[in-house]
Amino acid sequence: MDLKLYDTLAREKRTFVPIDPAAVRMYVCGPTVYDFAHIGNARPVIVFDLLFRLLRQLYGAEHVRYVRNITDVDDKINARAAERGISIRELTEKTYGEFAADVAALGCLPPTVEPRATEHIAEMTALIEKLVAAGHAYVEQDHVLFGVPSMTDYGALSKRPLDEMIAGARVDVAPYKRDPMDFVLWKPAKPGEPGWPSPCGIAVPGRPGWHIECSAMSWKHLGETFDIHGGGIDLVFPHHENEIAQSRCAFGAPAMANYWMHNGFLQVEGEKMSKSLGNFVTIRDVLKDWPGDVVRLNMLRTHYRQPIDWTVKGLEESEKVLSSFFDVASSEAEPRPAPAVLEALCDDLNTPAAIAAMHGLKNAAGRKALAGTLAFFGFRREALADWRTAHAPAPPIPVEEIERRIATRIDARKAKDWAESDRIRDELAALGIVLKDSKDGTTWEVAR
């Protein structure tokens, strides 16, 4: 089956053709590890985890390589470590550990490689040297800058007029820049900041700019040109535009990645959730109230390119939907999407259509396919069941009384007294207690 993906660069859906089907390669910009991630940051993680699973399904698990970096050099990291009086390494280790635990709770597989910026300084300085040698970058006042006018087709990804780009990037007109659009590849480290030996004969220690980190790490782990590059829509400009400029100009390559994919924003009352606006909730906090699988389904009920408004009502609905799937699905199955689900996902990850197809499997004939589909998505029955037990409302009559009535009903059924059996069931239902009969016996729960 053909996989179609919306490519931000082409502004259209394109049939996915990997460079090498035996080694499909995807890079996604990962977290800057200075504090707990918010639920908006979870969106690209969940969306690209689903794409990772889909690619593994289509090409075989061992033929897909997914790289998601860890940005552990950043002003915010330095400031936070100083504030807490701990070392930068201690802060980034701890924050990364929290992030990994959060996204695991959301049912995401670990990527194939999670490279750290601080472990790829050599690749960054090598790239910078290449760019200077090729005339695309220059040294000025201990900085190295990418000269934007040296690249004739700069701006193809964001397709914005130059003046808008300048405003959007809040480009500062610094004395070391030849053109206001030029961006930093390397800068001197301030006293007390982490620094490394600088490239291009610069005498003082320095540190990389943000964009060069991703060009260096994708190069090291995926090569000069790879298949898919992803991230949130806010990264299109300047981050991805600058990654493209660096990688293409360093390697003289026509493309850095062949498909550029961007998720839409997760919003709160119509505004992007962000640290700077202060309208955020951390993944940690959401997981205190909701199982990770419900959060995951809630994210996927909206197509990844559309904005999502994050609401408690949405989570409540998602819990009901997921429970309704597990109530019908058989208990075990190989992870495999049902054909209609696979077809929907191959249409640019159309998750709303995939979930609609899952509703169509809620019948005796679909139980097995539904179970396989749930496993493919990474949904786990136990986590949801535990949550439902912990959050079940208290029954209106004592548990012993409920169990006594169920026992009476079992006796009635043995005596084939169906009228009595139904009477007891209806009586309990009127109290909001729902009985479920299966081959293993009768269970009950309080209706919500």
- Residue ranges that bind Zn ion, judged by CB under 5 A: 29, 214
Binds ligand AMP by CB under 6 A, chosen from 16, 18, 31, 128: 31
Shortest Cβ 76–ligand AMP spacing (Å): 9
Binding to ligand AMP in span 256-315, by CB under 6 A = 263, 265-266, 272-274
Does 209 help bind ligand AMP (rule: CB under 6 A)?
no
Distances (CA, A) of 401 to 363, 397, 408, 415, 428: 33, 7, 11, 21, 10
In the bound state with Zn ion, the residue whose beta carbon lies nearer, of 29 and 357, is 29
Does 8 help bind ligand AMP (rule: CB under 6 A)?
no
Task: For residue 136, give the amino acid letter.
Answer: H
Does 40 help bind ligand AMP (rule: CB under 6 A)?
yes
Binds ligand AMP by CB under 6 A, chosen from 18, 44, 147, 199: 44
C-alpha 233 chain-centroid distance: 13
Does 43 help bind ligand AMP (rule: CB under 6 A)?
yes
Binds ligand AMP by CB under 6 A, chosen from 234, 316, 343, 420: 234
Shortest Cβ 382–ligand AMP spacing (Å): 29
The entry of ligand AMP, Zn ion, none that residue 214 binds, CB within 5 to 8 Å by partner kind: Zn ion
Shortest Cβ 263–ligand AMP spacing (Å): 6
In the bound state with ligand AMP, the residue whose beta carbon lies nearer, of 41 and 246, is 41
Q: Cα-flanking dihedrals φ and ψ of residue 126, to 5°? A: -65, -45
The entry of Zn ion, ligand AMP, none that residue 41 binds, CB within 5 to 8 Å by partner kind: ligand AMP
Shortest Cβ 95–Zn ion spacing (Å): 18
Does 238 help bind ligand AMP (rule: CB under 6 A)?
no
Binding to ligand AMP in span 95-124, by CB under 6 A = none
Q: Strand order in 226-232's β-sheet?
A: 64-68, 24-28, 226-232, 257-263
Determine how β-strand 4-7 pairs with β-strand 12-15. antiparallel
Binds ligand AMP by CB under 6 A, chosen from 111, 115, 209, 232: 232
- Whether 227 contacts 259, CB under 8 Å: yes
| # residues near ligand AMP by CB under 6 A | 17
Q: Strand order in 143-146's β-sheet?
A: 137-140, 143-146, 183-188, 206-208
The entry of Zn ion, ligand AMP, none that residue 58 binds, CB within 5 to 8 Å by partner kind: none
In the bound state with ligand AMP, the residue whose beta carbon lies nearer, of 241 and 373, is 241
Q: What is the CB neighbour count within 10 angstroms for residue 317?
A: 15
Q: What is the CB neighbour count within 10 angstroms for residue 87?
A: 11
3-state secondary structure of 281: coil
Shortest Cβ 234–ligand AMP spacing (Å): 5
Does 32 help bind ligand AMP (rule: CB under 6 A)?
yes
Shortest Cβ 420–ligand AMP spacing (Å): 56
Could you give the CA distance from residue 9 to residue 365 in angstroms, rounded to a whole number? 43
Q: Which residues of 356-391 are buried (b: 16+ CB within 10 A; e: fewer)?
A: ebbeebeeeebbbbbbbbbbbbbbbbeebeebeeee
Crossing angle of helices 121-133 and 241-251, in 10° steps, is 70
**Interface with ligand AMP by CB under 6 A: which range of 38-46, 119-127, 185-193, 320-328?**
38-46
Could you give the CA distance from residue 103 to residue 293 in angstroms, rounded to a whole number? 11
Contacts (Cβ under 8 Å, ≥6 apart) of 209: 183, 184, 185, 186, 187
- Whether 388 contacts 407, CB under 8 Å: no
DSSP tally for the chain: helices H, then strands E = 16, 15
Shortest Cβ 217–Zn ion spacing (Å): 8
In the bound state with ligand AMP, the residue whose beta carbon lies nearer, of 274 and 442, is 274
Does 68 help bind ligand AMP (rule: CB under 6 A)?
no
Question: Contact positions toward ligand AMP, by CB under 6 A?
Answer: 29, 31-32, 40-41, 43-44, 231-232, 234-235, 263, 265-266, 272-274
